[in-house]
């Protein structure tokens, strides 16, 4: 028998694409950096709707939709059921070693338990992105217990999962960034007014953005968001409701500071893209955020504290030496989270899991076993 390290791993990745993600953003990007000599990867994109379903089940779609609303997880839809059915067929055909649900809050409900009932050795893994308070209302603990492993975006999520799973089934692998596409400007732009940038919509604290922008009329605040922000009445706020990838990267490079007040968080594309662009950051002091910016690259203000946030923005913009130090630290931190590095951490996890499965060795599931954190 060949050593396990020489065997190819046949992996199916299921994820829910979001319209606001560009071609260079989003968690599934790590798949492109898996070693092609070791991995045969196939990707299923499950739409966030009730439309996708096998032809033979289309007459039952209304019934399935209502049934899932009552019995499945809150974000689980008919298209997610379709993704699980498609993966189940691949498993039964002996075509897979592993199924990784990249958006566990959406798409993992029935497959792990079905495979377990059949005695299948196909591994099921799921990644989770939401903070613990949201996980309470989104997830089905019974479905979680059927998984072979879960991947978390931040240590702050552990408190939820340790109530339902042994520590050996939980890993933390930090989110990543395209550090080639998002990069600093060759030189800091010179303008009459300094410029802050805020990007995204999920769990953003728009009340703090509004208060700080109102307090600092001499600073431009460029806000990239497809949603309503309540900032349209401020003269120094420039709204960008829809931009392409190149425009977004250029907006980062033209900014002096990433201003990202958050209500809660796990991982954050905008935070990482700003770091990769060499931007000093002022953001909220959350446990999840500290996992990503624990050094000189950011100033953390208390959540919902506009006074502290305004003071931090003013301090960075008015101190060239501090700005330069934070900018260098931001880029250095982003390079440690480049997708090739994040992909390597996933490869190490997959190898360990598949090695146990192929050698028929049971995974250690003692609650007392130290948790593996792949930062």
pTM comes to 0.90
pLDDT at 3 over 70: no
pLDDT at 21 over 90: no
Our CA angle for 20, 24, 29, nearest 5°, is 100
How does residue 371 score in pLDDT terms, banded at 50, 70 and 90?
very low
Could you please report the per-residue DSSP string of 177-239? Answer: B-TTTS---SS----SS-EEEEE--TTB-HHHHHHHHHH-TTSEEEEE-SS--S-TT-TTEEE
Instruction: Go through the domains of the chain in sequence order and give each one's CATH number.
Output: 4-176+338-374 (3.40.50), 195-336 (3.40.50.2000)
Q: Quick: pLDDT tens for 94-151.
A: 999 999 999 999 989 999 999 999 999 999 999 999 999 999 999 999 889 999 999 9
User: Which tokens is 368 given?
Assistant: 């007392």
Question: So what's the pLDDT on residue 357?
Answer: 80
What percent of the chain is predicted at pLDDT more than 70? Answer: 94
Count CB-CB contacts under 10 A for residue 314: 17
User: Which tokens is 97 given?
Assistant: 């070693």
Question: So what's the pLDDT on residue 54?
Answer: 86
Could you please report the per-residue DSSP string of 249-268? Answer: HHHHHH-SEEEE-BSS-S--
How does residue 212 score in pLDDT terms, banded at 50, 70 and 90?
very high
Q: At what angle are helices 306-317 and 320-336 packed, to 10 degrees?
A: 100
């Amino acid at each position: 028998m060949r050593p396990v390290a020489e065997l190819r791993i046949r992996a199916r990745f299921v994820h829910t694409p979001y319209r606001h993600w560009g071609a260079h953003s989003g968690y599934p990007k790590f798949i492109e950096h898996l070693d092609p000599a070791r991995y045969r990867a196939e990707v299923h994109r499950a739409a966030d709707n009730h439309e996708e379903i096998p032809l033979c089940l289309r007459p039952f779609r209304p019934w399935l939709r209502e049934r899932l609303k009552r019995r499945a997880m809150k974000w689980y839809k008919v298209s997610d059921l379709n993704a699980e059915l498609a993966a189940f067929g691949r498993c039964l055909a002996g075509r897979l070693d592993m199924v990784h649900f990249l958006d566990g809050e959406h798409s993992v409900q029935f497959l792990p338990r079905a495979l377990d009932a059949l005695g299948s050795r196909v591994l099921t893994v799921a990644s989770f992105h939401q903070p613990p308070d949201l996980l309470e209302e989104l997830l089905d603990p019974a479905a979680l217990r059927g998984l072979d492993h879960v991947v978390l975006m931040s240590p702050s999520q552990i408190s939820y999962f340790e109530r339902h799973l042994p520590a050996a089934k939980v890993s933390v692998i930090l989110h990543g960034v395209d550090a080639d596409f998002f990069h600093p400007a060759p030189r800091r732009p010179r303008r009459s007014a300094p410029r802050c940038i805020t990007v995204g919509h999920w769990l953003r604290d728009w009340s703090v953005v509004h208060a700080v922008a109102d307090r600092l009329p001499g600073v431009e605040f460029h806000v990239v968001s497809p949603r309503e922000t309540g900032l349209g009445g401020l003269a120094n706020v420039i709204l960008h409701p829809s931009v392409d990838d190149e425009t977004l990267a250029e907006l980062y490079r033209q900014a002096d500071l990433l201003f990202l007040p958050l209500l809660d968080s796990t991982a954050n594309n905008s935070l990482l893209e700003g770091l990769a662009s060499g931007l000093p950051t002022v953001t909220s002091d959350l446990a999840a955020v500290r996992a990503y910016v624990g050094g000189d690259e950011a100033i953390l203000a208390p959540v919902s504290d506009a006074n502290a946030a305004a003071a931090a923005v003013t301090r960075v913009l008015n101190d060239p030496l501090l700005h330069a130090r934070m900018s260098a630290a931001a880029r250095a931190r982003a390079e440690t989270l480049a997708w090739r590095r994040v992909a390597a951490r996933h490869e190490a996890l997959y190898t360990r899991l598949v090695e146990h499965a192929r050698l028929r060795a049971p995974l250690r599931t003692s609650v007392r076993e130290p948790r593996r954190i792949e930062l």
